[in-house]
Amino acid sequence: MIRTTLYVFAACLLFSVSNPAAAQSAKSLAGSYWAVSSMTTDASGNVTPTFGPNPRGMLILTPDGRYSLTLLRASLPKFAGNSRVKGTAEENQAVVAGSISHFGRYTVDEQGKTLTFHVEASTYPNWDGAPQKRPLTVKGGQLSYKVAAVSGGQGSGEVVWKRMKPAL
């Protein structure tokens, strides 16, 4: 009896380790992530860093299916008027082009290996209320997903996040 129980336990453990979909459940993805890169590929195949070479950002995925995502260019300009509501046209354009943020609920399709953001609100309002489905890859401590149509309007993208180490 004990031997059979051990075999069943070992088989379950082996299956959960070797099955890539098992590592992509919503609960296993839950955590906090730092931005590593965000790349855009245009129609000609040119790849550029969407938010510059060293984007700043954080993705938080809660175990109960909520998320918050912020990505921004490391070199956003300071506002000369020292007020975010009194930015110049150039300052405002730089901030809008250099950042994206949204929050809502998320789901993971383990079979299709996709992550879907169910956007409740975004700094790109065209995404408000719209699901954003992303093919998902998890490898080691990194989570990456593809973006079929980037919010900048031209091309596709890929975003890579690195899981933060838990605080002590």
Q: Is 135 a member of any domain?
A: yes
Domain of residue 138, residue span: 26-163
Beta carbons within 8 Å of 133's beta carbon, 6+ residues apart: 114, 115, 116
Please tell me the pTM assigned to this model: 0.80
Can you tell me the distance from the alpha carbon of 99 to that of 150, in angstroms, rounded to the nearest whole number? 12
Q: Is 7 a member of any domain?
A: no
The predicted-structure confidence for 106-155, as pLDDT tens digits, reads as follows 999 988 899 999 999 999 999 999 999 999 999 989 999 998 877 777 78
The CATH number of whichever domain residue 113 belongs to comes to: 2.40.128.280
